[in-house]
């Protein structure tokens, strides 16, 4: 058994134990920077969800693969510039990092052109960190309303990258409350170092890279 498949099976096992075998969250295998040769065993194993953070890398890597494995779902987990949106729509199925109105408007326009809708998470700056992207909690209500009512975006949930401190549980709890407030079904939070904590607060998508593929070079 390839190491990445073993690692994925172990993560699934831990998630089942943590959630008491209820529906476990979708595992987005964050394959950014890894070549297809490293990803191929998971593809052959039948894993569906993969995450990338750069458009050009994803286009080069996945365009032909998605033709062969048509059930694959690609997740954009990185920051997106508006001039890259035209490349985002044809290839990706999910966007986890909607963080500003300019980007939201551009996605809305491109969706009309291409007749395809992304499933979108709004990135929340849950720790109010200057250096991080994300919509502030104070602006979230207005932003959500514009995205759904004016721009007709398919907002399925919220996403966060919590500060690297000892308050992870409190940030996840706040995200859970916000998701409930907006009556959203999906919640994208939890990475290799904190995914088991995230599922305690109803995360439905965990984004895991190094715990599956190993450390990046």
pLDDT per residue rounded down to tens, the chain (217 residues): 889 999 999 999 999 998 875 778 999 999 998 988 999 999 999 999 999 999 999 999 999 898 888 899 999 999 999 999 999 999 999 999 999 999 999 999 999 999 999 999 999 999 887 888 899 999 999 999 999 999 999 999 999 999 888 889 999 999 999 999 999 999 999 999 999 999 999 999 999 999 999 886 6
Q: Report d(CA 48, CA 185) in Å as an integer.
A: 20
Q: Report d(CA 89, CA 93) in Å as an integer.
A: 8
How large is the angle between the packed helices 3-18 and 36-45, nearest 10 degrees? 60
Give the up-direction half-sphere exposure of residue 165: CA atoms within 13 A in the CB hemisphere. Answer: 8
Give me the torsion for CA of 141, 143, 148, 153, rounded to 10°: -140
Q: Tell me what pLDDT residue 21 has.
A: 58
* CATH code (residue 137): 3.20.20.10
Q: Tell me what pLDDT residue 217 has.
A: 63
What's the pTM? 0.95
CB 16 within 8 A of CB 24: yes
Domain with 199, as residue range(s), is 3-213
Q: Report d(CA 99, CA 61) in Å as an integer.
A: 25
How large is the angle between the packed helices 168-181 and 137-145, nearest 10 degrees? 30
CB 91 within 8 A of CB 63: yes
Q: Tell me what pLDDT residue 107 has.
A: 97
In the chain, how many domains are there?
1
List of residues 6+ apart from 18 with CB closer than 8 A: 196, 199, 200
Q: Tell me what pLDDT residue 50 has.
A: 97
Q: Tell me what pLDDT residue 202 has.
A: 94
């Amino acid at each position: 058994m390839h190491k990445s498949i073993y690692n994925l099976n172990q993560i699934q096992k831990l998630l089942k134990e943590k959630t008491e075998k209820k529906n476990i969250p979708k595992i987005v295998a964050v394959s950014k920077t890894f070549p297809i040769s490293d990803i191929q065993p998971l593809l052959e194993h039948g894993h569906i969800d993969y995450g990338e953070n750069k458009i050009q890398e994803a286009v080069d890597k996945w365009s032909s693969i998605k033709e062969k494995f048509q059930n694959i779902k690609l997740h954009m987990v990185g920051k997106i510039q508006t001039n890259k949106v035209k490349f985002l729509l044809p290839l990706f199925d999910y966007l986890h990092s909607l963080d500003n109105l300019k980007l939201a408007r551009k996605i809305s326009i491109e969706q009309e052109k291409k007749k395809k809708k992304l499933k979108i998470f709004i990135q929340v700056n849950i720790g109010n960190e200057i250096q991080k992207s994300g919509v502030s909690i104070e602006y979230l209500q207005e932003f959500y309303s514009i995205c759904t009512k004016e721009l007709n975006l398919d907002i399925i949930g919220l996403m966060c990258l919590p500060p690297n401190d000892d308050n992870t549980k409190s940030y996840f709890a706040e995200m859970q409350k916000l998701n409930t407030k907006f009556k959203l079904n999906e919640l994208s939070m939890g990475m290799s170092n904190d995914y088991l904590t995230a599922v305690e607060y109803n995360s439905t998508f965990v984004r895991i890279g190094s715990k599956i593929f190993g450390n990046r070079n």
